[in-house]
Amino acid sequence: MPAHTDEVWKTSAVASAYLEGVRAAIPLAQEQLDVMLRLLEAGGRPVRDFLDLGCGDGALGAAIFERFPQARGVLVDFSEPMLEAAGNRFARQSYAVRCANADYGAASWIASADARGPFDAIVSGYSIHHQPDGRKREVYREIFGLLAPGGLFLNLEHVASASPWVESMHDALFLDHLERHHRDRSRAEVEKTYYARPDKAANILAPVEAQCQWLREIGYTDVDCYLKVFELAVFGGRKPAGAA
Residues that bind ligand SAM (CB under 6 A): 6, 9, 18, 23, 54-56, 59-60, 77-79, 82, 103-105, 125-127, 130
Smallest separation (angstroms) from ligand SAM to the CB of 20: 12
Nearer to ligand SAM, 21 or 150 (CB): 21
DSSP codes of every residue in 183-228: TTS-HHHHHHHHHH-TTGGG-----HHHHHHHHHHHT-EEEEEEEE
Q: Which amino acid is at 47?
A: V
Q: How far is the CB of 29 from ligand SAM (least distance, A)?
A: 8
Nearer to ligand SAM, 135 or 182 (CB): 135
Q: Least distance (Å) from ligand SAM to the CB of residue 132? A: 11
Cβ neighbours, 10 Å, residue 38: 12
Q: Which is nearer to ligand SAM, 98 or 240 (CB)?
A: 98
Instruction: Select 127 or 220, whichever has its Cβ closest to ligand SAM.
Output: 127
Q: Give residue number: closest CB to ligand SAM.
A: 56
Considering the complex, what minimum distance in angstroms separates the CB of residue 221 from ligand SAM?
A: 25
What is the rounded distance in angstroms from the CA atom of residue 17 to the CA atom of residue 102? 22
Residues 5 and 40: their CA atoms lie apart, in Å, by 32
Give CA–CA dist 85/15, Å, rounded.
9
Say if CB 54 and CB 125 are below 8 A apart.
yes
